[in-house]
């Protein structure tokens, strides 16, 4: 309803505030008229006498009227409708379908609008529909009528946005449609006092349910999309659960033909008070694929009462033949048995060299070139490099720098296997020492640690279990290991412990260095595992570590790569998307100033433009995303897409908004009570309870006759006529 204005104009006498005052002025007018006609000097004869009397009488009456204060009084009546602001919470929890009618919580706003439009005694109010969690922008009424409101906000700052709406607009009634799930709940009490001071009562339409509904979902699957045939490949499932603490979940993975590849069961962990919260957890499941080519893996998880979630992933299986370069000082047991085990593996090609006396090839022609292949172009031919008990002085600075670049830029896997000579300590101050993922003491301390001969029982950590598998026996049943290289009490920042020994002493530590991974094996006698089984456990152990360490090599065959930091982000969180070279760029001058990256999932697609940094060959942009899901990133324009490794970015729903989606009735009751309002659960009842807040306001304006010149002109003319006639007849 729009504002309207009515206008009334009246002629009044300002000096006659009461009606009976008019009688006094009328009697005074008659009295003066009589005197003017009968008692004011001798009149001229005939017509001129009558004219003189009339002019005299009219002039006196006009003068008397002016003394009475004649004026025009204009009265304007303004009718203003009541202002009702309806604030609808559009945060993610309002999209839940747990209302009695099984519709979304946000649909209550649509039902309320329909009830208002059907109300017979429609109050004279104007309704302003505003959104919470969408910066207070107006809501499209067509979306309300068609029940098409999209509630996907990451944060529901009810207190902040409700106060902002109240401050930016005038309202007689404030209605809140919400489930009370506020990410600034602590401020609700303070804004209630401010709304009460402004005499704004809040009517609340509470939506949602107090019950906890069990939920189960697979957020994403993390794993290598390039799988080596016949190798065990771990995949990590990021799970989201609610109301399932203590329940058993069954996980299975199958291929595109429906063949079951692996299955396992886990129990959801958590405290009883966390039953309503959305909990994140991870679990790992392994697969071994034997057929080369493209394959689709289907991951499925089942819970109680028919709960089920599934996700699929495309992978490529190929024969992976490792090229390994081995450097050691002398053919000690560990290195000799390892070389022989790798040599008998048809998927591994090993080139080995000894440094005692001078560098020389260890074995025949099939064990590598005649000269040590440590030049930059030669290292590109290898997937992994094993450095045994080699002294720092036998590897020149250029060779060390070449190895560092190959690890960081080309993804070369580096495996350190120190020995009892303690030669690894020589690298602490050398360029290659920057690629040791542990704190190595001096040479004497390393030697004493080996000679001490502490007996270790191998204990693989949770991370190590993802790719290290003892096979038919448990690690505890394998022969114990004697002595180890001290790898420090505290791991280097960013490193990961894969295996521990007695008193949780780190035995295997790994760390990512840009593109490549470096692993240090502190034990020197895995050859003992050959007892009764030959190379089986020795080969299985080292082959897994080599493939794990060289996994970056397979990912960096292309000269360019797309990275997103982080690779998993929440809705609205800033993400850095970068396209950078995996190695040196031959001619940066011919690179374009900007490129475009295509992001897609299912049938949705987005294009983002990345600009090249000054004096740099990399492209990047910082942006945020507001649609959850797994997005694939690939080059659209600017670079050859065949030369750029693609990436994947996963956008997750906000945990703050979905951590506990139950209706917070206590918070809504407190807000309504503090402002003098009420809480409703039925939108129709609330629509009927909104009062009529129409207001009437009158404005009066008076324009006095004294401000009009023609009143004076008429009186003056009449007196002039009377005076002229009397002068003509020479009367006094």
- Chunked into runs of 10 residues, the chain (732 residues) has average pLDDT values of 66 72 72 67 69 74 72 77 86 81 87 86 81 74 83 73 78 86 70 79 86 81 76 82 90 93 91 80 86 89 91 81 92 90 87 91 88 92 93 91 90 92 91 92 92 88 74 76 87 87 90 88 86 72 84 68 75 80 72 89 83 83 75 88 81 64 83 87 89 76 70 73 69 58
Q: Is residue 269 part of a domain?
A: yes
Helix (H, G, I), strand (E, B) or coil at 197: helix
Q: Is residue 88 part of a domain?
A: no
Name the phi and psi angles at 139, rounded to 5: -90, 135
Structural domains in the chain (count): 5
pTM attached to this predicted model: 0.49
Tell me how far apart the alpha carbons of residues 479 and 341 are, in angstroms, rounded to a whole number: 18
Q: Is residue 604 part of a domain?
A: yes
Residue 359 and residue 291 share a domain: no
Cα of 717 vs its chain's centroid, Å: 86
Helix (H, G, I), strand (E, B) or coil at 29: helix
Q: Is residue 18 part of a domain?
A: yes
Residue 547 and residue 527 share a domain: yes
Q: Is residue 332 part of a domain?
A: yes
Q: Is residue 85 part of a domain?
A: no
Residue 369 and residue 277 share a domain: no
Q: Would the CA dihedral through 433, 438, 441, 444 be positive or negative? A: negative
Residue finishing a domain among 258, 291, 315: 315
Q: Is residue 89 part of a domain?
A: no
The tally of CA atoms less than 13 A away on the side-chain side of residue 97 is 4
Name the phi and psi angles at 235, rounded to 5: -125, 135
Residue 671 and residue 601 share a domain: no
Residue 631 and residue 594 share a domain: yes
| Whether the bond into 566 is cis, omega within 30 of 0 | yes
Residue 248 and residue 140 share a domain: no
Q: What is the pLDDT of residue 40?
A: 64
Q: What is the pLDDT of residue 158?
A: 80
Q: What is the pLDDT of residue 508?
A: 92
Tell me how far apart the alpha carbons of residues 299 and 678 are, in angstroms, rounded to a whole number: 49
Residue 466 and residue 414 share a domain: yes
Residue 432 and residue 349 share a domain: yes
Burial of 615 (0-12, 13-18, 19+ CB in 10 A): exposed
| Conformational region of residue 46, where left means phi above 0, alpha means psi within -120 to 50, and beta covers everything else | left
Residue finishing a domain among 528, 555, 582: 555
> What one-character DSSP code corresponds to residue 44?
P
User: What domain range is 644 assigned to?
Assistant: 560-656
Q: Would the CA dihedral through 254, 255, 260, 262 be positive or negative? A: negative
Q: What is the CA radius of gyration of the chain?
A: 45
Instruction: Write the DSSP assignment of 400-462 as a string of letters.
Output: HHHHHHHHHHH--EEEE---TT-GGGGGTTSGGGGG-SS----HHHHHHHHHHT-EE--EE-T
Q: What is the pLDDT of residue 251?
A: 95
Residue 379 and residue 507 share a domain: yes
Report whether 4 contacts 79 (CB < 8 A): yes
E strand intervals along 471-524: 481-482, 496-500, 506-513, 516-521
Residue 522 and residue 549 share a domain: yes
Nearest alpha-carbon partner for 582 in 566, 596, 563, 598: 563
Q: Is residue 671 part of a domain?
A: yes
Residue 579 and residue 520 share a domain: no
CATH number, domain of 574, equals 2.60.40.10
Residue 530 and residue 594 share a domain: no
Residue finishing a domain among 503, 522, 555: 555
């Amino acid at each position: 309803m729009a504002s309207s204005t009515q206008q009334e104009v009246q002629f009044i006498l300002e000096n006659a505030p009461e009606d009976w005052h008019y009688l006094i002025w009328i009697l005074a007018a008659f009295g003066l008229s009589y005197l003017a006609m009968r008692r004011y000097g001798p009149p001229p004869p005939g017509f001129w006498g009558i004219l003189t009397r009339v002019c005299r009488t009219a002039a006196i009456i006009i003068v008397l009227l002016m003394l009475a204060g004649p004026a025009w009084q204009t009265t304007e009546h303004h009718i203003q409708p009541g202002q009702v602001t309806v604030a609808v919470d559009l945060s993610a929890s309002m999209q839940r379908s747990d209302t009695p009618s099984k519709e979304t919580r946000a649909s209550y706003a649509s039902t309320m609008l329909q009830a208002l439009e059907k109300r017979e005694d429609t109050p004279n109010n104007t309704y302003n529909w505003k959104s919470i969690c969408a910066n207070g922008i107006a809501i499209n009424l067509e979306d309300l009528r068609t029940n098409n409101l999209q509630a996907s906000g990451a944060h529901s700052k009810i207190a902040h946005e409700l106060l902002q709406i109240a401050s930016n607009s005038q309202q007689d009634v404030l209605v809140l449609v919400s489930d009370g799930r506020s990410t600034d709940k602590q401020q609700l009490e303070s804004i209630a006092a401010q709304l009460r001071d402004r005499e704004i009562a809040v009517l609340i339409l509470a939506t949602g349910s107090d019950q906890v509904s069990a939920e189960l979902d697979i957020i994403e699957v993390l794993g290598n999309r390039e799988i080596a045939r016949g190798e065990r490949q771990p995949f990590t499932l990021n799970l989201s659960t609610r109301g399932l603490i203590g329940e058993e979940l069954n996980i299975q993975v199958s291929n595109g033909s429906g063949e079951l590849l692996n299955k396992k069961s886990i129990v959801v962990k958590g405290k009883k008070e966390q039953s309503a919260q959305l909990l994140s957890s991870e679990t790992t499941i392994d697969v071994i694929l034997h057929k080369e080519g493209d394959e689709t893996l289907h991951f499925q998880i089942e819970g109680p009462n028919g709960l089920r979630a599934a996700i699929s992933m495309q992978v490529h299986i190929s024969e992976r033949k490792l090229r390994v370069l081995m450097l050691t000082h002398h053919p000690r047991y560990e290195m000799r048995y390892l070389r022989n085990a790798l040599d008998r593996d048809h998927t591994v090609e090993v080139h080995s060299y000894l440094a005692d006396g001078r560098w020389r090839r260890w074995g025949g022609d099939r064990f590598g070139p005649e000269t040590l292949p440590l030049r930059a172009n030669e290292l590109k031919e290898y997937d992994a490099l094993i450095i045994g008990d080699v002294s720092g002085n036998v590897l020149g600075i250029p060779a060390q720098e070449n190895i560092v670049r190959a690890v960081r830029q080309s993804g070369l896997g580096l495996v350190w296997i120190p020995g009892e000579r303690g030669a690894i300590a020589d690298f602490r101050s050398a360029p290659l020492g920057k690629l040791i993922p542990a704190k190595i003491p001096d040479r004497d301390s390393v030697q004493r640690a080996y000679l001490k001969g502490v007996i270790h029982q191998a204990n693989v950590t949770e991370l190590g279990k993802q790719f290290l598998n003892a096979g038919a026996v448990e690690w505890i049943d394998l022969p114990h290991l004697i002595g180890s290289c001290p790898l420090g009490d505290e791991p280097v920042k960013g490193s990961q412990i894969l295996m521990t020994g007695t008193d949780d002493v780190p035995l295997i530590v790994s760390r990512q260095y840009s593109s490549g991974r470096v692993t240090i094996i502190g034990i020197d006698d895995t050859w003992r595992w050959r007892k009764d089984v030959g190379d089986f456990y020795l080969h299985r152990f080292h082959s897994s570590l080599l493939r794990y360490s060289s996994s970056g090599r397979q990912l960096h065959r292309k000269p360019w790569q797309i990275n997103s930091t982080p690779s998993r982000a929440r809705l609205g969180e800033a993400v850095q998307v970068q396209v950078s070279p995996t190695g040196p760029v031959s001619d940066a001058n011919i690179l374009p100033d900007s490129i475009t990256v295509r992001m897609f999932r299912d049938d949705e697609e987005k294009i983002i433009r990345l600009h090249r940094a000054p004096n740099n060959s990399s492209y990047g942009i910082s942006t945020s995303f507001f649609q959850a899901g797994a997005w694939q990133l690939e080059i659209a324009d600017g670079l050859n897409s065949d030369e750029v490794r693609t990436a994947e970015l996963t956008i997750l729903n906000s945990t703050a908004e979905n951590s506990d989606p139950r209706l917070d009735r206590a918070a809504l009751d407190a807000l309504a009570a503090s402002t003098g309002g009420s809480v409703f659960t039925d939108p129709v009842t609330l629509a009927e309870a909104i009062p009529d807040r129409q207001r009437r306001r009158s404005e009066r304006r008076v324009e006095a006759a004294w401000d009009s010149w023609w009143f004076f002109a008429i009186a003056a003319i009449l007196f002039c006529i009377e005076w002229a006639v009397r002068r003509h007849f020479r009367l006094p």
